[in-house]
Amino acid sequence: GAVVSQHPSWVICKSGTSVKIECRSLDFQATTMFWYRQFPKQSLMLMATSNEGSKATYEQGVEKDKFLINHASLTLSTLTVTSAHPEDSSFYICSARLFDRGRKDTQYFGPGTRLTVL
Amino acid sequence: AQKITQTQPGMFVQEKEAVTLDCTYDTSDPSYGLFWYKQPSSGEMIFLIYQGSYDQQNATEGRYSLNFQKARKSANLVISASQLGDSAMYFCAMSSRLYGNNRLAFGKGNQVVVIP
């Protein structure tokens, strides 16, 4: 249980184009999903919290117009990198929150998407 | 604010031996959760183990156990009987209500290489 998928797993695009990344919780419903960015040999940096049916909450320094997040259903959140530039090249990874009452509140991660902008 | 510290350099571990990965944390919230994740070279983040701040016993999940010392604010991960597949980066993370909405704060990670 607690499987999260991400699509695509990798993408190469030209500078100026937009790229959409999907994050799905396959066997549970997630009212909250999270988007992270990870540079090589570094830790995960939280970009935003995605809440089903409401606007995402962005971390300080993350441009909301650059990184559009939509959480349209309890199993799907999307991150769109608009007008991508080479500095946006990174590993993007999502997680979905599973809250099991009386037990624990855990984030389960997708496999990540490697974005390369030429 | 909450902070996670992982300062060990990369580690080489002999197969079948145990390894301990250090993690210290800092928070003013009395209620928090501590997590360990494994990230192999493929990039996926694999949830390993969870410890709640009010849990009386140390968490265990198969070969993984968490040495939780609340007064010292440490949550070290112990991997017993290391296997070649354990080679990966290991991240300690913490959530708390004060930090908001169960966001996770991650440490910088520990690199582990298991050698045959």
Query: What confidence score (pLDDT) does residue B68 get?
Result: 96
Sign, Cα dihedral of A79, A54, A30, B29: positive
Q: To probe the interface with B, which of A9, A35, A43 has the most B CB atoms within 10 Å?
A: A43
Among B52, B91, B95, beta carbon nearest to A43: B91
Give the model's pLDDT for residue B17. 97
Q: Do B101 and A57 touch (CB under 8 A)?
A: yes
Mind giving me the DSSP string for B6-75? -----EEEETTS-EEE--EEE-S-SSEEEEEEEE-TT---EEEEEEETT-SS--EETTEEEEEETTTTEE
Low-confidence spans in chain A with pLDDT less than 70? 100-103
For A48, the closest chain B residue by CA position comes to B103
Q: Is the pLDDT of residue B8 over 90?
A: no
Segment B70-115, tens digit of pLDDT: 999 999 999 999 999 999 999 999 998 777 767 899 999 999 999 9
Cα separation, A13 vs A82, in Å, equals 12
Quick one: pLDDT at residue A101? 61
Instruction: Report pLDDT for A1.
Output: 72
